[in-house]
Amino acid sequence: MKPCFILPTALQKKSRALSAQLIILLKSRRQLWRLCSCGVKDMVEESMSKAIIDFFVNVPIFDRINGEELRVVAKHMNIVELDDGEILFNESDKGNYICFIVEGALEVIKKSKSGSEVLIATLYRGQSIGEMSVIDDYPRSATARAKEKTTLYILSKSAFDMILERHSKIGIKLLKGIARLLSYNLRKTSNRLTEYIAPLS
């Protein structure tokens, strides 16, 4: 059974709207004949799965996961679209999903002690945010906001746990992929800190 993943209400509406748009697109491409054999829901899921697989082939976390394994992961993904300036999540929100940027860009923001916004990073296609949220239960450490119209693939913690339980080989590969990414980011941050401190010493 596919895990029950409850997106925030606003994101649920966007996810449903995107599914409807995909159905219209499929009709325009004269694929109506397939509706009789697999139904609208199956066709939408199949088309979305293929798009997700094609995208993740070039995402570092998934670089050691093959096509069939990606198909398993794709079945657990949700798609969400944000408008320019729309908040994906706020600092201190409960984190229970990881996001992958398909199109557009996300700004990662923290608030200073004075309450002003500090831009930490800007993420683009192929990058991800919220990796630790599928591993621990800590609140979000920053706010994520769409810099422009942005499309995301989302993997919930419950879906991630189900993959680990039912497809342990794939789950372990995902964990290793996340660990490699976190290690890379930590090294990059360490190098930047060294460059910043050096002139002060």
Return the closest-CA partner of residue 76 out of 178, 175, 167: 167
What is the pLDDT averaged over residues 74-94? 93
Q: What is the pTM of this model?
A: 0.73
Question: Which CATH number is correct for 9-194, 1.20.1250.20, 2.60.120.10, 3.40.50.11540, 3.30.1540.10?
Answer: 2.60.120.10
Residues forming a β-bridge with 129: 99
Q: What percent of the chain has pLDDT over 90?
A: 48
CA 125/CA 146 separation, integer angstroms: 12
Quickly state the pLDDT bin for 199 (edges 50, 70, 90). Answer: low
Q: What is the pLDDT of residue 53?
A: 85
Q: What is the pLDDT of residues 132-173, one digit of tens each?
A: 899 887 899 999 999 999 999 999 999 999 999 999 999 999
Q: Which long-range contacts (CB under 8 A, 24 or more apart) does 61-65 make?
A: 61/128, 61/131, 61/174, 61/177, 61/178, 61/180, 61/181, 62/174, 62/177, 63/177, 64/173, 64/176, 64/177, 65/170, 65/173, 65/174, 65/177
Q: Read off the pLDDT of residues 26-58 as tens digits, 9 standing for 90 and up.
A: 444 444 444 444 444 455 566 767 888 888 888
Q: Which of these ranges, 78-87, 97-106, 154-163, 185-194, has the smallest mean pLDDT? A: 185-194
Token pair in block for residue 19: 């599914």
Contacts of 36 by beta carbon, 8 Å cutoff, 6+ apart? none
- The three-class DSSP label of residue 91 is coil
Annotated domain spans of the chain: 9-194
Quick one: three-class SS letters along 115-178?
CCEEEEEEEECCCEECHHHHCCCCECCCEEEECCCEEEEEEEHHHHHHHHHHCHHHHHHHHHHH
- Amino acid at residue number 57: V
